[in-house]
């Protein structure tokens, strides 16, 4: 486990360098955004000073990373360019972070049991109509990008049936949970776009284990089919599936960016999209780094769960 933690730390460090370099080479900066056509070289230079962009890249990087490690996400470049002395990134992103977390958690709450349940169902009925139906529908959903799925759902549930709101406008300071109907279509979009991979992985694992000798043995010993399925087959099929589910959760972060834009949902995705457009590097870097931290944490947790499920992995190699 120690090695895994070290690996995680190194991954994050590499990510931080990549994020910093990646954002630094974006053409234009917040100064030219704020100034618009007035972005003459002299005016830009003045604002770059305000944004501390005149210091060497390495100094900018160490300042930023040092702050991040200590919980200081830095300042919004746009805020500084507009002449504010301090424009803490955290104040700008705290609400969007909460909103996105709520959306992701609710989606995960449905995604995990649905992946397991539908995957197992498909495996048990492998090659029969239920299996085909599940496979074809999940494949069809994954083949469509989120904005198409979102638009289709809006078409059906707003334009046609008029039972659900097509956008999720949430007033600042209000919890998205105060009106759950607004969350239904965004969550459904994310689910449809993400379920297939999990279902297919669980199905493949289950099909394999259901043919394994120990499962056969369990059956021959007269254990009930339900017991065999859940206690023997599922547990072993889970190990590879946990990694896929973790990947799915990581994918959610990406899917959320598009889904939030489609539904005008005030989360991290919408914020990031405008921040990139505005070249608000302070916001982009810190948000990207937070996402990297979540990614790495999800991997660690998945590894841990696999360790718990497969005792043999616990012994040192």
List residues near other proteins by CB under 8 A.
Answer: 27-28, 30, 32-41, 43-44, 46, 76, 78-79, 82-83, 92, 95, 151, 154, 158, 165-167, 169, 171-172, 258, 261-264, 266, 270-271, 273-280, 283
Residue with smaller CB distance to other proteins, 209 or 278: 278
Closer residue to other proteins in complex, CB, 30/207: 30
**Of the two residues 41 and 311, which places its CB atom closer to other proteins in the complex?**
41
- Rounded to whole angstroms, the Cα distance separating 233 from 207 reads 9
**By C-alpha distance, which of 199, 225, 200, 195 is closest to 210?**
225
CA–chain centroid gap for 71, Å, is 21
Shortest distance in whole angstroms from residue 40 CB to other proteins? 6
Contact 118, 199 (CB under 8 A): yes
Shortest separation between residue 83's beta carbon and other proteins, angstroms = 5
**3-class state of residue 180 by DSSP:** coil
What is the smallest separation between the CB atom of 103 and other proteins, expressed in angstroms?
15
φ, ψ for residue 139, nearest 5 deg? -65, -45
User: Nearer Cβ to other proteins, position 46 or 52?
Assistant: 46
DSSP 290-315: HHHHHHHHHHHHHHHHHHHH-GGGGS
Query: Closest approach of Cβ 141 to other proteins, in Å?
Result: 20
CB-nearer residue toward other proteins: 83 or 113? 83
d(CA 157, CA 179) in angstroms, rounded, equals: 17
- Determine the Cα–Cα distance for residues 141 and 149; give it in Å rounded to an integer: 8
Sign (positive or negative) of CA dihedral 185, 186, 190, 191: negative
How many other C-beta atoms can be found within 10 angstroms of the C-beta atom of residue 47?
A: 22
Helix (H, G, I), strand (E, B) or coil at 75: strand
Q: How far is the CB of 54 from other proteins (least distance, A)?
A: 15
**Minimum CB separation from other proteins for residue 317, in Å?**
46
Map residue 83 onto helix, strand or coil.
Answer: coil
Is the CB of 73 or the CB of 234 nearer to other proteins?
Answer: 73
Q: Specify the residue, 66 or 155, whose C-beta has the smaller distance to other proteins.
A: 155
User: What is the C-alpha R_g of the chain?
Assistant: 24
Rounded least distance, CB 163 to other proteins, Å: 11
């Amino acid at each position: 486990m120690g090695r895994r933690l070290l690996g995680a730390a190194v991954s994050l460090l590499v990510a931080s360098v990549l994020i910093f370099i990646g954002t630094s080479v974006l053409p234009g900066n917040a100064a030219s955004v704020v100034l618009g056509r007035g972005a003459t070289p002299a005016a830009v230079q003045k604002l770059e000073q305000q944004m501390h962009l005149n210091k060497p890249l390495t100094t900018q990087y160490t300042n930023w990373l040092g702050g991040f490690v200590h919980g200081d996400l830095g300042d919004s470049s746009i805020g500084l360019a507009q002449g504010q002395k301090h424009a803490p990134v955290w104040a700008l992103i705290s609400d969007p972070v909460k909103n996105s977390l709520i959306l992701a958690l609710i989606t995960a709450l449905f995604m995990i049991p649905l992946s397991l349940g539908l995957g197992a169902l498909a495996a048990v009925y492998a090659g029969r109509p239920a299996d085909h139906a599940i496979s074809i529908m999940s494949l069809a959903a994954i083949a469509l990008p989120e904005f198409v799925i979102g638009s289709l759902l809006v078409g059906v549930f707003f334009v046609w049936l008029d039972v659900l709101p097509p956008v999720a406008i949430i007033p600042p300071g209000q919890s998205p949970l105060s009106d759950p109907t607004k969350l239904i279509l965004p969550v459904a979009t994310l689910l449809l776009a993400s379920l297939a991979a999990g279902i297919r992985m669980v199905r493949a694992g289950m099909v394999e284990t259901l043919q394994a000798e120990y499962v056969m043995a369990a059956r021959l010993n007269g254990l009930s089919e339900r017991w065999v399925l859940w206690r023997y087959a599922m547990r072993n099929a889970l190990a590879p599936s946990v990694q896929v589910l973790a990947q799915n959760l990581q994918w959610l972060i990406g899917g959320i960016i598009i889904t939030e834009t489609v539904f005008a949902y005030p989360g991290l995705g919408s914020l990031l999209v405008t921040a990139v457009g505005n070249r608000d590097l302070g916001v982009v870097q810190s948000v990207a780094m937070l996402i990297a931290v979540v990614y790495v944490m999800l991997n660690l947790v998945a590894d841990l769960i696999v360790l718990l499920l497969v005792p043999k992995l616990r012994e040192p190699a």
